[in-house]
Structure 1
């Protein structure tokens, strides 16, 4: 029952009582019969009973209503007090009138302590100006949705960031009567946001590219690693199609990756992607499927790692391993090759001596045989030098003769469509270098020129002498103030593109097809020239041709070729034991020594050598023995000979690389080492040197 209904019921009860009083007065005045007052009394009692019943009913309804109001008030009080967020009610000046339990708990004080306190007391002093701005905003707009404010109370030892919501309450005249404030501690949120920022910073610090794209390949996230790797800024990348941005064409592998990651949740493999400036990268890519709240595919997280350099190193390692295998193979066949070349060289030298009446053509043919045998030995040594390393043999090199040799080779072997021209002044001078290595340098340049002219062209080889001064030396890396011989190899071929011109000297860099070039030629060339104190320059134009200029320090001296006609040394009938498993070697060595007044015994292996030495040990003056023989190798035979006669004179021979053979013979007490292939001159002079040393030593015994 409402308050208005209760008042109406009371008015009606009073009205009925007044009617009874009027009836009673009327009865007295008219003096009606005796029983009339009784009826009137009964009627009055009835009316009073009805009124009392209505009052009782209305009173019960009031009690029920009051209980409901009290229950609602208690419910409101409970909600107010035990709400998870802090709740304050202030007047329009900010004085706290009500405070719930959560507010007191957040501020670490009693609820009663808050009542009557100005709310700014609990705001951090650095943000009180902001609080005043919020108060002003409430006066104007009547409410604020969300603001961040830092709460502080020294006695309560609290200091935390809060999310604040407020509203102004007005009376019926529109006047602000109170302000209601709702606030919550957002310290955890700040910590979470800080962790997210730190994780985002880590995402940006990483060198890997981290990309999030939707299922339609639209880029949603692009970290700084992706910026650095691919060159596209975040603003340029986000919203773009990843496949179009990073691939020149959609490869089947991309479709396979997308299908696999959707079906299995992840995929990883190698992809070729392109940077903003068109550079191709080899990428190790890892894809992970991201799901939404209901477990449906939402996006794909992609982590890309640039493995371009790693792949190049792997390729270089494989090439190095192939070179190492080549070195092992070359080492294995060197001994046999040198055994083949040694008789050729020796015979070519001995025949003119044995038959002095040979015609000029025969002598020229023998000279060609000797020269090519020497070159064959040099090439074997060159291969070993490249694959395993051996000592350089610098000699006086006639530049004129060097270029003439190259000219003869290219004229005989290059296609006839290539025109070959040379221009070498006779007084060009000499250089001190390893002739085989310089031969390799010029042949490499000539072959590259040939490959650059598949349809023919012009190959020019020229040389000139010049002096480099300080100004020129400062502007050219590797140059010093000195006299140089400049050898120029130029072609009219396809030329070299400017973008790769700076890389042509890098190891393993080649523009040739797989199997047609190792990428080692120019890097080896650069190493050879630098080791000789020289430098290289290159100029090229696409479609016009290329010009290489090799600068070598020159030496003063005669440029005319001096023919060495010194008479070879002869023996005095000394007995020499020659042990080698190659019959050609023993025969030609025996013939050479016998022609120069030596006596010779030959053996085909170590066992035969020991038997012959044991038989003629008092007569044998010198043992010439190969290090690699069947049944018993040279080292074992040498040690056994030294047991038989500690004073035995031994020269070891080997067709292996000189440095390797020297290591093999080190510490076994021999008198010398002779590398195959050797000439008659080298053989006779070496033997004479040993005998001379023995005679000199004997004078002081």
Structure 2
């Protein structure tokens, strides 16, 4: 029971006593402190609520009430604290004693202990009263020192102000709306808001606002525990920006725990490997997602990283469906030891380089197309001269054939067709054969390069050089060919098409260089030392300045007039030379011509041997099956083979040949490749797959240019003893018969 009388008598000037009528009003009994007019609104509702509680529980209750001056801003001196003491009287009425207090903090009534606890907290604490929002809302009645430091206001400076004093333009209206809804419903709320310090700077806080009930069940205060989360939000923003960068750069993170054999990865890495967001997998599970062609290399490099021999840096292809685009991943990682552990861990990143790879593949395709166009351009420069060159000997042949026809039709004497005419026919035929041999080599240039193998650079260049010499001579260009006896065989690791391309490009370049000079000469020299083989092409042209020489091997660099040349010839030549392990250099001076020198590593292991001269022995009783759909070729070869003592059976195509194979045993088969019904390639496969016919020597004869890069050449080499190019010479036939 509260001692109301004692307090009343102590200071009657600052007290008053009222009586509750049991309804909604309070009657002033005595005292100089006039409070009746102030008992309205939420204060009146609280008093009525508390009075009813006292009657129900036959008890007394005391609480504090705060009033602030409604000026520009209350100060601690403007704060008025009243103590309301309610007591149940013996007659059943409720007596209310109101006393104005000199306390300036709510903690004055609970002692220093709780004050110390509040001030020792690591969070800012703000306490407000709890009036209706319609009465101006909560006012701060206490703030601990940490909140004062956080906001820049003094502890007492904030008393009497609404917490809204801390709000500003960047304070979220949505957050304010949610806080108001919680206050209206007397509900706790956790919210993040942006507040303003006294100096106008912003800081972010997480508010935990809770309503406080007294023991009567009345909400008397709001307590807000606040934590400055500016640093945390800055860190989260940094993480967000990092994640944005990671997302935009297609980068994912992973780590490998060796002790547990577990690979932990983020969502991005899992998706890269087609693992459907699986967070952890075993190392074998991960390796099985890698294409088989790359798996062993990745495993080896991972082991090196685990043993700290080297950081992991590897690129590999991921297994994918045939219908989907291939994907490549680049993986980089480093290993380290965790504290107090001898086990090593590996952490790293993966990023999708599929587009980079696809772009590189596309770029390589365009590069190959450009090179192919450059090759075709260089061949195109030969085309005009070839037509004229081949027509000259052809005119001789046609004229003499007409002469023979005229002799027969007019019964002219023997003196009309003499031995000199026969020599002219032979010479014209040899000239055409020489051109065809040159074109056979040149045509292979426009095809894909073969695998590198030991070849004789001099021999590979011979036919091409002869053809170019003949063509250039028509333009008044003197081509000199120099090779010593000891340099007759220059063995290098290369392919014939590449060597011919180098020679064509350098000679075409030399031809253009001497176009406007009076002395038009080109020299081609082959020589070798113990370690290298060298090709030198020198011209007597106008030469080049040092600036031009410095850029001469750059793609699309050309000094020729518009429409003449692609600017790719020398760049492509440099690429081919370097692909053979060689180097190309240029020496030139204005008015003194130009020298291009190509040095290749010499291939050791081939001795220089002289070619054997083939004798003409008799070959009686050898039965030859000749398969060719060209009747004229068949007749000429039949006559040649018959003259050598062979028995000949002819067939028009592969099917016809198989029928005759069933009826007769043959010692040798010569077959053309391009024929109707069943061509030569198919025939050779059938014959070689038959155990009765497999041992018979078989040779392919063709007038076409076949590159070693063609698929058909592999089949021909597998199922024949060799290839003979048309026109077939006597020595070719004798060499074949010698081997049968």
Please report the TM-score for the alignment, with normalisation by the length of structure 1.
0.45
Structure with the largest fraction of helix: 1
Higher relative contact order (CA 8 A, sep 6+): 1
